[in-house]
């Protein structure tokens, strides 16, 4: 299976430039809200990124997954911890989510 997390993120980032330029206020509002929500609060930022990884899997988002993996690695989550959390996504989302766990594994290997 061919899945290239770096290339996916590079292409996504290029595409987002057009969106940012077309609707700059809305884009800025989205980024601001994202930063507020992912910042440490009652839950540490580290935990929020692990939750975002699980949510990315249940939503089956091939762009969200590598971004969440990057942040989880930066927050010092181990591969084992991330994959264990991914199994929660499988529990919630069903066996089809297991396919996306393989994308997490590939992204971890590529980004670590």
Average pLDDT over residues 52-63: 96
The domains found in the chain, sorted by start residue, are 5-111 (1.20.1290.10)
pLDDT above 90 for 11: yes
Could you give the CA distance from residue 41 to residue 20 in angstroms, rounded to a whole number?
A: 28
Q: How many CA atoms lie within 13 A of 56 on its CB side?
A: 27
pLDDT of residue 86: 98
Q: What is the mean pLDDT of the chain?
A: 96
Token pair for 93:
């989302």
Average pLDDT over residues 40-49: 97
pLDDT above 80 for 43: yes
pLDDT above 80 for 1: no
């Amino acid at each position: 299976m061919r899945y290239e997390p770096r290339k996916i993120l590079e292409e996504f980032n290029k595409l987002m430039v057009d969106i940012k330029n077309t609707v700059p206020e809305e884009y800025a509002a989205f980024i601001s809200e994202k930063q507020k929500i992912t910042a440490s609060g009652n839950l540490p930022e580290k935990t929020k990124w692990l939750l975002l990884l699980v949510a990315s899997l249940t939503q089956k988002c091939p762009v969200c997954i590598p971004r969440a993996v990057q942040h989880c690695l930066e927050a010092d989550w181990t591969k084992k911890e991330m994959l264990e959390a991914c199994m929660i996504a499988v529990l919630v989302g069903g066996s089809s989510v297991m396919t996306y766990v393989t994308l997490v594994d590939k992204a971890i290997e590529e980004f670590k």
